[in-house]
Structures are given as structure tokens and as C-alpha cells.
Structure 1
Amino acid sequence: MSFQGQTEYEHKGPKPKKGILLVNLGTPDAPEPTALRRYLKEFLSDHRVVEIPRLLWLMILHLFILPFRSKSSAKLYASVWTDEGSPLLAITKRQGAALQQQLDADYAEGQLPVVIGMRYGNPSIKSALKSLAEQNVRDITVLPLYPQYCAATTGSTFDAIARELQSYRWVPSIRFINGYHQTPEYINAIGQSITNYIKQSGMPERLIFSYHGTPQRYLEQGDPYYCFCMQTTRLVVEALGLDNEHVISSFQSRFGKAKWLQPYTDVTLKSLAEQGVKRVAIICPGFSSDCLETIEEIEVENRDYFIDAGGETYDYIPCLNDSQTHIDMMHKLIKQNMV
């Protein structure tokens, strides 16, 4: 017995398209306690973010963290909120629009749509995938905007996309870019930011690469994030010919009492000032967009730590945001992965 397909048959509908999904971490809808509670609940309920036994953690989250942290976090977000809303969302939208413009120059306009989605908050990954489906996109290239792979960010993004696609009758093809910390274009973009700063302001006594922290046990259990951060610093230092003795990698934004990746950024800054270092510059290569953790924590809070401990000049080098080198990097990375 043999089976033969109906070669003349075609599924009804327009010709399928390819599309791009840019994903960033997310942001609350407003700098208000209610919005923060909703956002933090989604974020901190993710088992990839907090690897504590569920029952115990959910009790801590709902009884202690959400009732109190929502109010304090709302005040912090209010301090960085802009006329466009959340800095992270506004910048990600600009990144998507700039990338779309470049892709429209490569293909017919609208043939390769770019949609953004937030892992937590809005616009959600669910709404982004729905938008692509409504545009008849059957082949999606996903670019999570986290240069260094980490289970809590990139891995969680994969989880969310896979979970949402479980409800699809016709699952699209997926190309998932799970990191780009070692690509020449990314290293060049970070290096260009530092070079531009040095040309304008001169070389600081210490150049600090501050990455978002994770619990130390994640590294011990096999997460490569720490190693990828160290590799990023090394590649940038080599590309620029910097003196290793004047470059420090550190980790910020720790939460809770567990041991996190070290050295800690805030402790490092205080120690440098106490040792007589008067001038530092700091860059955050793990963030693709400026956000609360860079604008408030690094540019304001950590500046105070350094100055109060005796430092004199503290310069923050902004994230790549929607700079041309960053958009060019995304453009090349996506085209390479679409093949």
C-alpha cells in the first residue's frame, strides 16, 4: 500500500511571512503601587527568577514582599518615568522602529514585521505573538535583548514563548537567539561607547563593568551567565587595548540575604573611594536599554555611595539604547540567524 499527497492542494490564505520578535524584561504600566504589585507578582512568581520551593516562596511573596515593596518601588519608578512612560519600554519601541526601518530597506515594506514583547508586563509576549500571527507570520526569529545568556532572563523568555505556543493550532517555525555577548558587532558597540566617553572626558582611574547579579548558587548549578559576563569584559578590554589593572567587573541589584555573584558594585565603589580613587566611570554591558537599574540604581544611588565615601568624579556611560551601532548589530545578528 502506498500513500500519495495532493500536490495541487494549497492551504488557503496569503503567502506566509517571516517576522521578528524583540523581547525585553518588562516594566510596570505606571509608577503606582497597584501597577507595581501586578508587575512584581508576575516577575517574582517566575520559577526561573526565584528558585525557592514554591509554597514557601509564594507565602513570602504575598505576605511580605508585595505589600511593602510595591510602594517603595513605585517611588523609584516615578523618579525615572518620562513623558513617554517607562524608559525601558520607550527605548525598546525606538529600537524596534529603527530595526524595522533597516529591514524595510532590505525587503519590501511590511514583508518582515518587527514586534516587541515584554517578558513581564505589557506589551506581553502573548500579544506580540498574536500580532505576528495576524500578519500571517509563520517563521519567527526571536531576539531576547540580553547579551549574556542567563536562565533567569533568556531561559525564561523561551519558557514564555513555548508556553504560549502550546495553545496554537499551527505552531510557527522559531529561530531563538539565546545570546550574543561574544559577537564582534556587540563588542564593537560597547567598545565604541567607551571610546567616545574617553575621547570626551579622558581615561578614568577605574573603569567598571557592572552586570546585573544573580544568586551564586545559579553559577554553581551550571548557569553560564557569570562566565559570559567575564568574557564580555575581556573581549572589550582586548579590543580597546585597555590596562586590565584599571578595569573591574562587578555585579549589582542583589536581592535578599543569599550570596550573589561578587564583587558587588556598591561595595566596590565604596572601597575604591576609601582607597583614594577619585575618579571612576561605569558601564552596564548586560542591559540593552537604560532602565530603573541603570538610571536610578547606578547613575544616582551608586554615585552617592562613591562620592560619600570620598570619591570626586563619577561618570555613567549610557546603555547602547537605540544608537546606530546597536541597531546595526541587531540588524546583522537577525539576518545571520534568518538563514
Structure 2
Amino acid sequence: MQNNNKQGVLLVNLGTPDAPTAPAVKAFLGQFLHDKRVVDLTRWLWCPILHGVILPIRSGKVAKLYQSVWMEEGSPLMAYSKAQKAKLEAATDLPVELGMTYGNPSIKSGITALLERGVKEVIVLPLYPQYSGTTTAAVSDALLKALKTFSVVPAYRFVQHYHQHPQYIKALADSVRRSWEKNGQGDYLLCSYHGIPQRFADNGDVYPQHCENTTALLREELGLSQDQIGMSYQSRFGREEWLKPYTDKTLEQLPTKGIKKLDIIAPAFSSDCLETLEEISEECKDIFVESGGESFNYIPCLNDDDGHIELMAQLVVTK
């Protein structure tokens, strides 16, 4: 007999190009950078810049970066997302599907797949630990847009954030400890979060407070002093001021303070992707070493780690 209240989970992440090619990257970036949650400039100003300058110039360059990290299963984000889906389904015995805010599979296709599996209530889990209008709210927008196309709208529950969830902090801390056991503990642990324009925070986005809370809780869990851990923001885009301190500038300064052996982690990313595997692991390493650093150790994202799957299970299973 079918459970009329059957629940299912929609795991949502930012998304990824379908292939590491300029046309695929152009299509993905076009959708991503058209979202007013991401770039809030007036369309008459932004669209000519986007289509006339940014996409033609950046698509080929970004495609080459994707080629350097592409895996057999697709992009790293997609490969790890599929692994997360399979493990969460096994751990909870709930139907789980993927939906990306941009690109494929879409949020609509994810919901459709859940409904076809008999789901009556969709638990939407955006894999953004820290809330931001640029990410979490963008998922909500895409969700509501997709739901408009269904004649019968399923019930749904939306997980807003989990930046201070005990299991999230534990999973992060465990990943750091495993790295220390394998590579030795560095002089300093830098938490690098994806940045947003400072103007967004000034207008009320709670993202920086969530990042600060995560860092403070991780410090407590690891038993580190204030001098052993810090945070910064990466991946800024355009000319306006973004959240500070900037990761690249921080990496330039740390060796001058006697920090030669660095551990770096990206707590805002639930899956390794271009921003972690290329920007942090390669570009940031070069900056640190060229500035006088001697050892740079990137601690991978939680990906499909068992502790991460346990967190997801706790977030979606109601007791």
C-alpha cells in the first residue's frame, strides 16, 4: 500500500556545464549570470556587457579550466552530487533526486522524477550551509518557478541553512583532523568562503554572519586559539567591493606573519568544484608559495564523506 505522505528529497546545488567546452560553458554561465540574485544590475546595462563582452571572452577560458578538473563521471560537482544522492538514499531509504539551480538536471526535472516515484512531500535541501540571497534564495526562486508548471503542487519543506548544525561542524572538524593525521598540522587553518558583494551584506544578507559563526564553532570544536585559525572570501568578480578579507590578499600576507605551513578549507562548498580544485588548490597555492609560504595543504570538501551524509540525513529525516 502506498504511503500517501511519502517523502522524497531534492538535493540542490548551483550546477555545472554539461561538458568542458566553450559552448556548454557559455550556456551555463549565461543562465547563471542572468539571475538577478547573482547580478542585480539593470538588464539594459548588464545584458550587453554579459553577451557582448563577458561570455565571448570568458567561456573559452573557463572551459579550459574545467578541462583541467573534469572527471570520468563529468564535472567534479556532478560526480560528487551523484555520489551524495546514492549514499543519502541508502542511508534514509527515501527517494532522492538531484536538481541544479542552473544547468542540468533542472529543479523541475528533479521534482518530476520524485513525483513519478510516488512522492507527496518534497524536502528541498540546498547544499549551501550558510544562507545567502545569491544562492539559497536563488534556489527558492527556481523552485517556485518550477512549481508553477505543475497542476498539482506537492507539499514541500525547505531547509534554509545549516551553518551551525552540530553534525556539520563535526564533519568539518573530522575532515581537518584526518588531514592533520595524514599531512601533519599546519601553522594556521584558513577557512575560505565564496564571496558576495559587500553591498549585498549592507542590504541585509546574513551570509557573512553565518560564515563567521561556522568559523567560530569550528575553532571551538578543534580547540584552536584565535591565532591558529582565520577566514577570508574568494572568487570575487567585477570591480565593486566584495566581502573582506580577500583570500588572495590574505595568502600574500600570512608568510610575512611567520605562517609558513598552511591548511586551507572551503566550508561554504558542499562539493569540490572549479572554485576549490582549480582556484584554491592551484591558484591560491601559487600565491602562497610565491609570497614565501613553504607548505600549502588544501583540505577537500565534505563531498560524499560519511559524516556529510549523516548530516544530510539529520536535516531531512523528521523524527
Task: Give the structure-1-normalised TM-score.
Answer: 0.91
Residue in structure 2 matched with residue 334 of structure 1 by the alignment:
316
For residues 119-162 of structure 1, give each alpha carbon's deviation from its aligned partner in whole angstroms, at most 9, with x where no partner exists: 11111111111111222322110000000011111100010010
Residue in structure 2 matched with residue 165 of structure 1 by the alignment:
147
Residue in structure 2 matched with residue 40 of structure 1 by the alignment:
29
1:156 to 135, 138, 143: 138
Contact 2:130 2:211 in 1 (8 A): yes
1:181 to 147, 156, 163: 163
Is 2:306 the partner of 1:317? no
Residue in structure 1 matched with residue 63 of structure 2 by the alignment:
74
Residue in structure 1 matched with residue 102 of structure 2 by the alignment:
120
Residue in structure 1 matched with residue 112 of structure 2 by the alignment:
130
Contact 1:95 1:321 in 2 (8 A): yes
CA distance in 2, matches of 1:102, 1:203: 32
CA distance in 1, matches of 2:290, 2:133: 36
| CA-CA distance at 1:14 after TM superposition | 5.8
Query: What is the SS of the residue equivalent to 1:129?
Result: helix
Contact 1:209 1:284 in 2 (8 A): yes
Contact 1:276 1:310 in 2 (8 A): no
1:146 to 113, 128, 138: 128
Contact 1:31 1:75 in 2 (8 A): yes
Give runs of aligned pairs for residues 115-264 of structure 1, distance below 5 A: 115-264=97-246
| CA-CA distance at 1:44 after TM superposition | 0.2
Residue in structure 2 matched with residue 287 of structure 1 by the alignment:
269
CA distance in 2, matches of 1:174, 1:311: 49
Query: What is the SS of the residue equivalent to 1:120?
Result: coil
Query: What is the SS of the residue equivalent to 2:236?
Result: coil
Residue in structure 1 matched with residue 83 of structure 2 by the alignment:
94
For residues 251-278 of structure 1, give each alpha carbon's deviation from its aligned partner in whole angstroms, at most 9, with x where no partner exists: 0000000100011111110111244421
Is 2:43 the partner of 1:61? no
Give the aligned residue type for 1:332.
Answer: Q
The aligned length equals 318
2:252 to 254, 257, 270: 270
For residues 212-236 of structure 1, give each alpha carbon's deviation from its aligned partner in whole angstroms, at most 9, with x where no partner exists: 0000001000000000000000011
CA distance in 2, matches of 1:136, 1:327: 23
CA distance in 2, matches of 1:322, 1:251: 24
Query: What is the SS of the residue equivalent to 2:24?
Result: helix
Query: What is the SS of the residue equivalent to 1:26?
Result: coil
Unaligned residue ranges in structure 1 (runs of 5+): 1-12, 105-111
Task: Give the structure-2-normalised TM-score.
Answer: 0.97
For residues 298-337 of structure 1, give each alpha carbon's deviation from its aligned partner in whole angstroms, at most 9, with x where no partner exists: 000100001111111000000001011000111111113x
2:286 to 304, 310, 332: 304
Query: What is the SS of the residue equivalent to 2:83?
Result: helix
Contact 1:125 1:161 in 2 (8 A): yes
| CA-CA distance at 1:15 after TM superposition | 4.9
* Between 13-22 and 272-281, the greater mean CA deviation after superposition: 13-22
Percent identity between the two aligned chains: 50
Q: CA RMSD for the aligned pairs?
A: 1.3
Q: 1:313 to 1:34 in 2, by over 3 A?
A: same
Is 2:18 the partner of 1:29? yes
Residue in structure 2 matched with residue 109 of structure 1 by the alignment:
none
| CA-CA distance at 1:203 after TM superposition | 2.4
Contact 1:88 1:291 in 2 (8 A): yes
CA distance in 1, matches of 2:152, 2:104: 24
Contact 2:92 2:317 in 1 (8 A): no
CA distance in 2, matches of 1:82, 1:90: 8
CA distance in 2, matches of 1:197, 1:76: 26
Query: What is the SS of the residue equivalent to 1:198?
Result: helix
